[in-house]
Structure 1
């Protein structure tokens, strides 16, 4: 089977990029797989590339590339949704390259990985292929205008796959899509090729893009309470982003220089997590919580806010981690202090995390995708009838009196 995955920028860094490479490598065990990257900004991807997976960039943004001289690169995108957060990174050239590639795509299955790209897939993807939209953001993370466009476009696809059961339920309730399968499949998080943490390091780690929604400010305030009682412990925050300077100032204001450090981006992150004894997340929202699963893969217990929608489906409270209310810095500090003060609890939770994280193994998740492909191919005509019936019912409602 030929499978194509559509990605915003396969040369960048981030949760969706990492999980797409993981899925592509796992699928390549039995299928012919390619990743199509809408954009390219550097010579080589930041993540390790499986040689069995072809990488096809569409628009080259590197200095001196022919695409940089193409006037269509400076024209606004027409097809890519203007309400999508990445809209300003897209152009008329991206629209045209995506259309050209998709119209001649010979894949049996095509999977998009963000809303705007899923619109490309719905508009230009060949009808003979199974067309699947992955959602790495939650339904409620999209604005009302974008949700309206997605409802129209997703109705033309075969399936919508979210990363959590909770988000799949929201899509089913708020975005009815007759004839379209809506289901959850978690991200693949492979076992890292390093020894797990032994829980003895006096280090709390955190990772993610340095943006307001990740609430690293709340984590720094909570760590200040930990540091006051256990000054030998340190906080390491991995990531880059626009909040770096503000967080650096906050560390200085709390008198935590030398104890709380902004470490910059790291890829892969597992080697850093394995050197910690606790991983913390203070996010206001997560579509999945990739860093939580990566930490558990390293045998590290996680303290996380119980934010919508991912952490509650990853962490079993009191077994392999701790969940605290969103925005509650006091509860976050208390949970950290409890694990900092109890090495035995850290060790037991870390061992449980290693066992629990096996559900993110590549094999079972690939099987779920293969089962989905078979189901979609088998009931294509039935789903098509449901889609057309729903379309005619909507038309009739508009023209017939109540």
Structure 2
């Protein structure tokens, strides 16, 4: 079986890229696997690509490359959805290269990994292939306008896969897709090639993009309460982003210089988590929670806000980590202090987290995808009939509405007098 993944840019850094590479490598044990990257901005990928997986860049966006001299490179995209956050990064050249690639890729299964790329899949993916849209962002993270753009295209696909059961439920309720299977399969995180944390270092780690939604400001405020009672503990925040200067000012304003540090991006992050005794997540929302699983795979318990949608599906509160109310710095500080004060409980929770995180190994996740491929192939006829029945019902409803409107406008009717 030939399986193709479509990525926005396989040469960058991000959770979607990493989990796609993990899954592609696992599937390569039994299948031919190919990744098509819509864009390429550097010579080599930042993440390691399994040598069995073929990587095909469609458009080189470097200013000194041949593609940058193509007139279509500067033309706005026509097929990529205009309300997608990445729209300005797309061009007519990417539209046409994506269409050409999809029509000729010869895949049995094609998996898109972000909304705009999923629209390419719906428009140009061969009807003989199974066409699957992955959603790595929450339904609510998409604007109403983008959801309106996506719905007619998603209705032509075979499946939509979210990373959490909660988000699948939202899609089923808010974006009905007759004949399209909507289900959740979590991201995969491989076992790190290093020993787990011993849970003895006085270090709290956190990682992610330095953006407002990750609420590192809340974490810094909570840590101020922690360090007041345990001045020997340190907070290390890994990542880069627009909030860097504001967070540095907050650290200084809280008198935490030397205790809390912005460490910049790190890869692999597991090497840093393994040097910590706790990992903290203060987000307002998480579509999944890759850093949570990455920390657990290092034997480190995670104290996380119980934000929608991912943490509660990963952390068993009190057993593999702690869940606290979203936006509550005092609750976050209290949970951190509870585990700081009880080292045996902290280490036991880390051991439980390590065991629990084995379910996110790429092998069982890839098997879930293989079962999905089999189910979709077997149910094609039934799903096609379900889609046809839904289309007939929709046309019937439109006809009834037109007839009702015409009747009400007729002279002599109560509405027309």
Q: Which TM-score bucket, shorter chain as reference?
A: over 0.9
Q: Deviations over 1:91-130 (max 9, x none)?
A: 1111111111111110100000000000000000000000
Q: Tell me, which stretches of 5 or more residues in structure 2 are unaligned?
A: 405-417
State the SS of the aligned residue for 2:346. Answer: helix
Hey, what's the Cα distance between the residues in 2 that align with 1:210 and 1:88?
Answer: 22
Give me the whole-angstrom Cα distance separating, in 1, the residues matched to 2:260 and 2:193.
28
What does residue range 1-400 of structure 1 map to in structure 2 within 5 Å?
Answer: 1-400=1-400
CA–CA separation in structure 1 for the residues paired with 2:210 and 2:92: 30
TM-score, normalised to structure 2, is 0.95
Deviation at 1:60, TM superposition (A): 0.5
SS at match of 1:131: strand
Partner secondary structure for residue 257 of structure 1: coil
In 2, the alpha carbon distance for the partners of 1:73 and 1:389 equals 42
For the residue of structure 2 that corresponds to 1:103, the secondary structure is helix
The separation in 2 between residues aligned to 1:266 and 1:43, in whole angstroms, is 20
Indicate the larger mover: 110-119 or 223-232.
223-232
Post-superposition Cα deviations, 1:181-217, rounded to whole Å, max 9, x if no partner, equal 0000011111101000000011000000010000000
Residue range with higher mean Cα deviation, 361-370 or 160-169? 361-370
Q: Which structure: larger Rg?
A: 2
Distance in 2 (alpha carbons) for counterparts of 1:101 and 1:223 = 50
> What SS does the corresponding residue of 2:30 show, helix, strand or coil?
coil
Deviates more, 1:145-154 or 1:315-324: 145-154
Provide the secondary structure at the position in 1 that maps to 2:293: helix
Aligned length in residues? 402
TM-score (norm 1): 0.99
Q: Is the 8 A contact 1:46 1:267 kept in 2?
A: no
Question: Residue 220 of structure 1: CA displacement?
Answer: 0.5
Shift of 1:71: 2.1
Q: Distance in 1 between matches of 2:65 and 2:365?
A: 38
Q: List alignment gaps of at least 5 residues for structure 1.
A: none
Q: Measure, in 2, the Cα distance between the counterparts of 1:388 and 1:123.
A: 19
Moved over 4 A (4+): none
Q: Please report the RMSD computed on the Cα atoms of aligned residues, expressed in angstroms.
A: 0.8
Contact 1:47 1:268 in 2 (8 A): no
